[in-house]
């Protein structure tokens, strides 16, 4: 065999912001590679992974300067630090989501607010649980928004 293709399961997260013309442009993107990889020969047939030199996933944003300009115009250093911390936490959640593929978590069927306000700890109430896809839950949390409180 002279050639093979490595197919890595993962996802791309792109954040868009309006430019001065009112058009949405990609300000930043993250490529999150999962652990699952498939290997194919030149004809597309599955193969066992051969011994090969690791190639990092170096993908760049075409308009990287746009993202840097958006970060630079933040009002002060605290906002920039908060933005960077939030972005780091979101990326960590997305990596966990990929690594959690196929796992489930048994969660209460109560509204999420009741999980967090202690209602679930009332032993006099019946609490029912349901299995949820952990990867979907983590992706939802990452995509809907993560705030960082100092």
- Residue 19 Ramachandran class (φ > 0 left, ψ -120 to 50 alpha, else beta): beta
Beta bridge partners of 5: 40
Q: Is the separation of the CB atoms in 12 and 34 below 8 Å? A: no
pLDDT value of position 47: 93
Q: Decide if pLDDT at 4 tops 80.
A: yes
Q: For 137-149, how does the pLDDT look when each residue is reduced to its tens digit (9 = 90+)?
A: 887 777 766 655 5
Q: Decide if pLDDT at 150 tops 50.
A: no
**Mean pLDDT, the chain, whole residue set:** 76
Beta bridge partners of 10: 33
| More reliable by pLDDT, 3 or 120 | 3
Q: For 50-71, how does the pLDDT look when each residue is reduced to its tens digit (9 = 90+)?
A: 998 877 766 655 555 545 555 5
For 103, 115, 124, 134, 137, the CA distances from 127, given in Å and listed in that order, are: 22, 10, 9, 20, 20
Q: Is the separation of the CB atoms in 61 and 70 below 8 Å? A: no
Q: Decide if pLDDT at 110 tops 90.
A: no
For 18, 68, 130, the CA distances from 15, given in Å and listed in that order, are: 10, 13, 32
Query: In the predicted model, what is the mean pLDDT of residues 28-47?
Result: 84
| More reliable by pLDDT, 119 or 5 | 5
Q: Decide if pLDDT at 84 tops 80.
A: no
Q: Decide if pLDDT at 43 tops 70.
A: yes
């Amino acid at each position: 065999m002279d050639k093979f293709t490595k197919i890595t399961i993962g996802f791309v997260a792109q954040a868009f912001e309006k430019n001065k013309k009112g058009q949405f442009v990609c300000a930043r993107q993250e490529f999150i590679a999962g652990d699952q990889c498939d290997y194919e020969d030149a004809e597309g047939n599955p193969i066992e992974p051969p011994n090969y030199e690791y190639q990092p996933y170096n993908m760049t944003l075409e308009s990287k300067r746009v993202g840097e300009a958006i970060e630079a115009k933040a009002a002060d250093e605290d906002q920039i630090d908060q933005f960077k911390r939030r972005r780091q936490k979101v990326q960590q959640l997305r990596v966990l989501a990929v690594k959690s593929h196929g796992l489930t978590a048994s969660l209460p069927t109560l509204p999420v607010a009741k999980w967090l306000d202690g209602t679930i700890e009332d032993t006099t109430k019946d609490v029912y649980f349901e299995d949820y896809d952990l990867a979907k839950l983590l992706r939802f949390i990452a995509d809907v928004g993560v705030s960082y409180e100092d």
